[in-house]
Amino acid sequence: MVEIPAATQSTVVEQIICPSCKNSVAKGSNFCNNCGAKLQFICSKCGNNNPENSKFCNSCGFTLG
């Protein structure tokens, strides 16, 4: 078994695509760093992260928006 020293290991950051400008953005970002589009749709009642353009929280049913 060959061990790779920690200094040479690279960290892979998962990426998502901004639905507005198609720029690659780090997963978990709240806004696109290219166009400023909102990427997270967090429910203010329960804190659940909902899919883009959701009208209601898919966890508690609270109205989003």
> Residues 6 or more apart from 61 whose CB is under 8 A from it?
none
Amino acid letter, 38: K
Neighbours of 53 (CB within 10 A): 9
Would you kindly state where each structural domain of the chain is located, as residue ranges? 13-65
Q: Quick check: 60 pLDDT over 70?
A: yes
Q: Cβ(52)–Cβ(19) under 8 Å?
A: yes
Both tokens of 48, joined, read 């659940």
pTM of the model: 0.55
* DSSP-based three-state secondary structure for 15: strand
Each residue's pLDDT tens digit, 2-33: 676 666 666 788 998 888 999 999 988 889 99
